[in-house]
Chains A and B, each alone.
Chain A
């Protein structure tokens, strides 16, 4: 155990050593630098391999496509600064290209403190021979390489009416000095609704351009709302930038001399593919709003008197193309007086688009009392983020008009009921009436009188009365005019009247003759208006003579009476009975005629 403790103590310095070596390991660099990446066939290329610690066994790559003109030449520099040592060792080669084309300088390796390090390979393009090989670059060349004008588009594939932003940035290498650029040609943004976001002062900011540190100026910012679908072209934005490029010369004070030049840069010559809004699920109330919105309808009052006014406000707030769509119209009952709306917008535009609210305020004046519901209205928008349509409904509001005249000149459109075209204008109760309390319920169903069989019977049956009445009258006249027939008929009638009992008793001798006698007596009684019961044959005969009935008839009558008497005491046959019956009816009718 004691031994182990000692061992630990011995290990401590080793630990420190490890730390140091570690630190040194990390800071070892070995890299390759090319003087240029693109050169003419008649130019030279310088390749430097630099390391910050001395190493052995430097192994240069094969320079395929190049011929080594000079090298490797070594240079070492080391210095102490603030107690820190910096060291650099460089192997340099001057190469001359042997062929046109693209070549790669491959990795070189070196062993530093027992470890192998490798540089990164790099590509070189060899072009055709240039005019003045290895001449110093002109100010224009420098400006070309160090000034870049870039247009950044937030979205090249937006929906119709979806906001896109275009930011123009001018990148300048920090070594250059520029003065304020001049606009040569500003794009018009056809088929876009554009809003410029003004930049108060050009401000230089730090950034990188293609991995290099650069200064940049945001030159212009525009928010665009495409108004047409399909491929839309944005024209380029051209600037003339006056620039001063440092030269290798120095002035008397040792400051670099700047050469003035100017550069024309163009950016943002782009094509944008605008998508149409999806047609599936497009609500009917969609009026082109794209973004994300809230929708409200509010009234300043809900209870008021007739003649007073209230404000009804239709408001849309949120983010999107607020200025580019129609606010849905307020629908109000026609009996309310509504004035044209007052439009109000509070919209601010920033890089993400328009933001704020737009509203229409309607002044509404009710003139009659009652209850006026403002129906709910719809507002639809397309949200490009969720790629869906959304529909918002406003709440239904009710305006109560408490005091005022009742509406009496309501245009009367009731023409349905069969007889209420001249509907009475309401003049009695001005207030809303309460329920009716008696139900008077009937079974549902309609039966109209017109067209029913009852109706036709009532209409046509009376008409039948006319022919009936006429026929009846004619018959009566005919009967009156036909004398003989009349008499016969009358006799028949008389016979029927007086002899009916006798006829019934026909066949029964006793009864028959009693009935016959009675009938004959009755007949005479009725005919001659005799009130007495004295019916001797002589008296009858004298009466008949008196009434001027001819003798044979009288005799017949008397003989009939005699028969009646005789029959009671003597046998009479059926045939005789029948004979007497006919005789009686004949006699009666003859007497009747003569009387």
Chain B
């Protein structure tokens, strides 16, 4: 019985997979013929079917760009970048999409120290740093065992230095991985979908307006209370807005 069920599930997933491929190809065709509306529908259907990829989000961003829809276009490009941060095609088209948005926000200048930190940290993702930490720990263990068993003083010394160094490097990599992970968790990017949204000083509609944002601007969600999000924009300003006005990027 169980086997039948698994077989059925397998077949089903296979069918869904094939169906998604068909949808994808149809969407490409529709896009090329200028039926952008249909293309977006197909892409959204694929997401509904539970599958995604950087390419899918990129194509969806393209279709929305062609439809002059600023916010969805930027939203899906950013999503594609989350999955594949180094793709130049995505970054290129994202620049086009960002041309359409109203807000120009100056990024907060980084201090020298944080720049150095970023330079050290950014080449690898936290998963990358985790792998590095494991490799160093392995190296430490091997070198320590060698140190324990080797007979000659010279060899022993080299093994000891290697083991201690790799232990420290391993701990360092682990710390960076966790810091980066914490940053990643704290970073909840979202895109403004409302045409214009008033950022309030408190999470209620009676409070004072602090500033306004327009469609397509990226914000970072810091906290939430009921239906309100506390957000921060890249120049460091913070405020509250109604959650329906923005859409979280990391919903997968």
Near B by CB (< 8 A), chain A positions 346-379 give 368, 370-373, 375-376
Q: Kindly identify which residue among B58, B100, B101, B177 contacts A436, using a CB–CB cutoff of 8 Å.
A: B58
B96 at the interface (CB under 8 A from A): yes
- A439 CB contact (under 8 Å) in B21, B81, B145: B21
Is B164 an interface residue, CB under 8 A from the partner?
no
Give which listed residue, A333, A430, A433, A443, contacts B50 with CB less than 8 A.
A443
Q: Decide: B123 and A419 in contact? CB cutoff 8 A.
A: yes
Contact: B24 with A421, CB < 8 Å? no
Among A398, A419, A463, A465, max chain B CB count under 10 A is at A419
Would you give the shortest CB distance from B221 to chain A, in whole angstroms?
11
- Specify which of B20, B58, B59, B118 is in contact with A421 (CB 8 Å cutoff): B118
- A463 contact set on B, CB distance < 8 A: 137, 141
Which residues from 409 to 445 on chain A have a C-beta closer than 8 Å to any C-beta of chain B? 410-424, 426, 428-430, 432-445
- Of residues 99 through 146 on chain B, the ones whose CB sits less than 8 Å from some CB of chain A are 99-107, 118-119, 122-131, 133-134, 137-138, 140-141, 144-145
Q: A451: nearest residue on chain B (CB-CB)?
A: B181
Chain A residues near B59: list those with CB within 8 A.
435-436
A458 at interface (Cβ–Cβ under 8 A)?
A: yes
Asked whether B189 lies within 8 Å of A462 as measured between CB atoms, the reply is: no
Per the bound structure, the CA–CA distance linking A372 and B184 in Å amounts to 32
A332 in contact with B102 (CB, 8 Å): yes
A418 touching B126 in the complex, CB below 8 Å, given contacts A439-B56, A463-B141: yes
Q: Most chain-B CB neighbours within 10 Å: which of A331, A333, A421, A463?
A: A333
Q: How many residues of chain A are within 8 Å of chain B by beta carbon?
A: 65
A334 near B28: Cβ-Cβ < 8 Å: no
For B187, what are the chain A residues with a Cβ–Cβ distance below 8 Å?
415-416
Pair A396/B78 contact, Cβ less than 8 Å:
no
Residues of A within 8 A of B218 (CB): 413-414, 416
Chain A contacts for B99, CB-based, 8 A: 333, 335, 368, 370-372, 407, 410
| Interface pair A417/B82, CB less than 8 Å apart | yes
User: How many inter-chain residue pairs (CB < 8 Å) link A and B?
Assistant: 206
Tell whether, in the assembled complex, residue A396 and residue B105 are in contact, meaning their CB atoms are under 8 Å apart: no
Q: Assess whether A331 is in contact with B96, with CB atoms less than 8 Å apart.
A: no
Q: Is B95 an interface residue (CB 8 A)?
A: yes
Q: How far is the CA of A87 from the CA of B206 in the complex (A)?
A: 85
Task: Verify if A448 is at the interface (C-beta below 8 Å from B).
Answer: yes
A20 at the interface (CB under 8 A from B): no
> Which residues on A sit within 8 Å (CB–CB) of B200?
none
Beta-carbon contact of A411 and B68 below 8 Å: no
CA distance A423 to B82 in the complex (A): 12
Q: Which residues of B contact A375 (CB under 8 A)?
A: 70, 102, 195, 214-215
Q: Give min CB distance, B47 to chain A, whole Å.
A: 7
Residues of A within 8 A of B78 (CB): 414, 416
Report whether A469 and B62 are in contact in the complex, using a CB–CB cutoff of 8 Å: no
* Cross-chain contact of B31 among A396, A435, A444 (Cβ < 8 A): A435
A473 within 8 A of B: yes
Residue of B24, B95, B119 with most partner-chain A CB within 10 A: B95
**In whole angstroms, what is the CA distance A7 to B196 when docked?**
96
Verify B103–A334 contact, CB threshold 8 A.
yes
In the complex, B202 has a CB within 8 A of chain A: no
Identify which of B2-10, B86-94, B151-159 touches chain A: B86-94
Contact B189 A441 (CB under 8 A): no
Q: How far is the CA of A169 from the CA of B252 in the complex (A)?
A: 77
Within the complex, what minimum Cβ distance (angstroms) separates B70 from chain A? 7
Specify the chain B residue showing the minimal Cβ separation from A438. B55
Q: Interface of chain A, helix or strand or loop or mixed?
A: loop
| CA A463 to CA B141, docked complex, whole Å | 6
In this complex, what residue of B is CB-closest to A401? B99
> Nearest chain-A residue to B55 (Cβ)?
A436
Q: Determine whether the beta carbon of B102 is less than 8 Å from that of A331.
A: yes
Known A420-B81, A450-B181; judge A442-B215 contact (CB<8 A).
Answer: no
Given contacts A370-B96, A372-B100, A451-B181, A413 and B85 within 8 Å (CB-CB): no
In the assembled complex, A153 has its CB within 8 A of some CB on chain B: no
The answer to whether the Cβ of B46 comes within 8 Å of any Cβ in the partner chain is: yes
Interface-centre pick from A332, A417, A470 (highest chain B CB count, 10 A):
A417
A473-B148 in contact (CB<8A): yes
In the complex, the answer to whether B145 meets A373 with C-beta atoms within 8 Å is no
| A440/B180 contact (C-beta < 8 A), A375-B102, A469-B145 known | no
Tell me if A16 counts as interface (CB < 8 A to partner B): no
Main secondary structure of the interface of B (DSSP, over half): helix
Please indicate the chain A residues that have their CB under 8 angstroms from the CB of B50 in the complex: 443-444
Q: Bound complex: CA of A367 vs CA of B223, how far in Å?
A: 38
Instruction: Please name the residue on chain A nearest to B21 by beta carbon.
Output: A439
Q: How far is the CA of A333 from the CA of B252 in the complex (A)?
A: 30
Does B161 sit within 8 A of A, measured CB to CB?
no
The A367-415 residues at the B interface (CB cut-off 8 A) are 368, 370-373, 375-376, 396, 398, 406-408, 410-415
User: B100 contacts A410, CB within 8 Å?
Assistant: no
List residues of chain B with CB within 8 A of the CB of A279. none
Tell me if A325 counts as interface (CB < 8 A to partner B): no
Q: Given A413-B107, A414-B78, A449-B131: A440 and B55 within 8 A (CB)? A: yes
CB atoms of B252 and A445 under 8 A apart: yes
Would you give the shortest CB distance from A431 to chain B, in whole angstroms?
A: 8
B88:A429 contact, CB within 8 angstroms: yes
CB neighbours (8 Å) of B89 from chain A are 429, 433, 436
Q: Quick one: which of B31, B100, B118, B128 contacts A422, CB cutoff 8 A?
A: B118
Smallest CB separation, A141 vs chain B (Å) = 66
CB distance from B130 to the nearest CB of A (A): 4
| A466 part of interface (Cβ distance < 8 Å) | yes
**CB-contact partner of A444 in B52, B100, B145, under 8 A:** B52
**Which residues of chain B come closer than 8 Å to A440, judged between CB atoms?**
53-55
Docked complex Cα distance between A375 and B102 (Å): 8
Chain B residues closer than 8 Å to A441, beta-carbon distance:
17, 20-21, 24, 46, 51-53, 56
**For residue A370, which residue of chain B has the nearest CB?**
B99
Is A455's beta carbon under 8 Å from chain B? yes
Q: Is the CB of A459 within 8 A of B126?
A: no
**Is there an interface contact between A426 and B95, defined as CB atoms closer than 8 Å?**
yes
Who on chain B is nearest to A406 by CB? B95
A552 at the interface (CB under 8 A from B): no
List residues of B whose CB falls within 8 A of some A CB: 17, 20-21, 24, 28, 31-32, 46-47, 50-56, 58-59, 62, 65, 68, 70, 78, 81-82, 85-86, 88-89, 91-93, 95-96, 98-107, 118-119, 122-131, 133-134, 137-138, 140-141, 144-145, 148-149, 174, 177-178, 180-181, 183-184, 187, 189, 195-196, 214-215, 218, 220, 234, 249-250, 252
Inter-chain pairs besides A371-B68, A450-B126, 14 sampled, C-beta below 8 Å: A333-B99, A371-B99, A406-B95, A410-B99, A412-B107, A419-B125, A422-B119, A430-B92, A436-B59, A441-B53, A444-B50, A448-B127, A455-B130, A473-B148
A residues in contact (CB < 8 Å) with B: 331-335, 368, 370-373, 375-376, 396, 398, 406-408, 410-424, 426, 428-430, 432-446, 448-451, 455, 458-459, 462-463, 465-466, 469-470, 473
13 CB < 8 A contacts A-B = A333-B101, A375-B214, A375-B215, A415-B189, A420-B85, A424-B86, A429-B92, A439-B56, A441-B24, A442-B53, A465-B141, A466-B141, A470-B148
